[in-house]
Amino acid sequence: MLKNKKNIKVMKLVAITILFTIAQGCGENVDKSEKKDDSLAELSLDEKEESHIHDSSTHSHTSKRIVKPEDAQQLWIFPESKDKLGSGGLLQIYMDPESHPDASSGFSKYELGVGGALPEHKHNKTEEIAYFLSGTGIVISYKDDVRIETIVKEGYVWYTAPGEWHSFQNTGNEPLKLVFATVPNAKHGLLNFFKKVGVEPGQEPSNALSAEEFAKLASDNDLILKPAEID
């Protein structure tokens, strides 16, 4: 009887020892696993940081952070002649898909000559944000198909959402100057259209495009001309 009790005690001690050993081993495995996970996490963070640094470095070499006026591309838009801008526009492109492919928006300056106006149009995919620097004019917009004319001048901001018909005119006696951003900075967008129809200052303006060709070129660059209303 005593021997049986001793055997039972020994078996209990052995069982407890085995359980303790197993538990200790599991704890070590968990610690190792956690350390391994921590190492992987640190490695992942390091890789992300290296990737971020690489991307930042790449961006810094693909486009200028500071663009001087003399570095901007200058174009005459619908000039009166090769020697006179007249009611046409002077466009200075500071940022576009060609110069800043990683930028989310294009950025330009526009000077509309006295008496000048842009045809009414809309953009299906493009937002425009303009800030008027000087001069006086009117912005044309529509609400519930009703045409609205709003006077604009220095310090005014004009926002146009995709799908909204709009235009603007110079009603003052000096150039109407503004800067504007186009979002997104699309390869086939408004600035590309201006590049196609514009000429360098002093060059003979081209009138080679028919009305249909002009409308197609505009449409291909997300500029849809408003159909003329016939009374």
Return the H-helix or E-strand segment holding 210: none
116 and 45 fall within a common domain = no
190: in domain: yes
Residue 93 belongs to domain spanning: 69-225
Domain boundary among 62, 80, 98: 62
Per-residue pLDDT of the chain (231 residues; tens, 9 = 90+): 444 444 445 444 444 444 444 444 444 444 544 444 554 444 444 444 333 333 444 444 557 899 999 999 999 999 999 999 999 999 999 999 999 999 999 999 999 999 999 999 999 999 999 999 999 999 999 999 999 999 999 999 999 999 999 999 999 999 999 999 999 999 999 999 999 999 999 998 987 889 999 999 999 999 999 998 765
List pLDDT tens digits, range 99-132.
999 999 999 999 999 999 999 999 999 999 999 9
- Two structure tokens written together for 153: 């001048």
- The beta-strand segments (E) located in the chain are 73-77, 89-95, 106-112, 121-122, 127-134, 136-143, 146-153, 157-160, 166-170, 176-183, 224-225
Domain co-membership, 110 together with 191:
yes
Please check whether residues 168 and 74 belong to one and the same domain.
yes
The DSSP code sequence of 150-196 is EEEETT-EEEE-TT--EEEEE-SSS-EEEEEEEES--SSSHHHHHHH
Residues 42 and 109 in one domain: no
Angstrom CA distances, 27 to 13, 23, 35, 36, stand at: 21, 6, 12, 14
Per-residue model confidence (pLDDT) at position 21:
45
- pLDDT of 206 reads 80
pTM: 0.72
Closest CA to 137 of 176, 90, 179: 176
Contact 93, 72 (CB under 8 A): yes
Reference 194, options 78, 71, 64; nearest CA is: 78
Distance of alpha carbon 214 from alpha carbon 78, whole angstroms? 13
Domain termination site, one of 47, 62, 77? 62
- Do 56 and 168 fall within a single domain? no
What pLDDT score does 207 carry?
Answer: 77
**pLDDT score for 228:** 80
pLDDT at 192: 96
Are 140 and 167 within 8 A, CB to CB?
yes
Task: Give residues with Cβ within 8 angstroms of 211, minimum separation 6.
Answer: none
Total domains in the fold of the chain: 2
Confidence at residue 62, expressed as pLDDT on a 0 to 100 scale? 57
189 and 215 share a domain?
A: yes
- 138, 178 contact by CB (below 8 A): no
CB burial of 216-228 (b: ≥16 within 10 Å; e: otherwise) equals eebeebbbbeeee
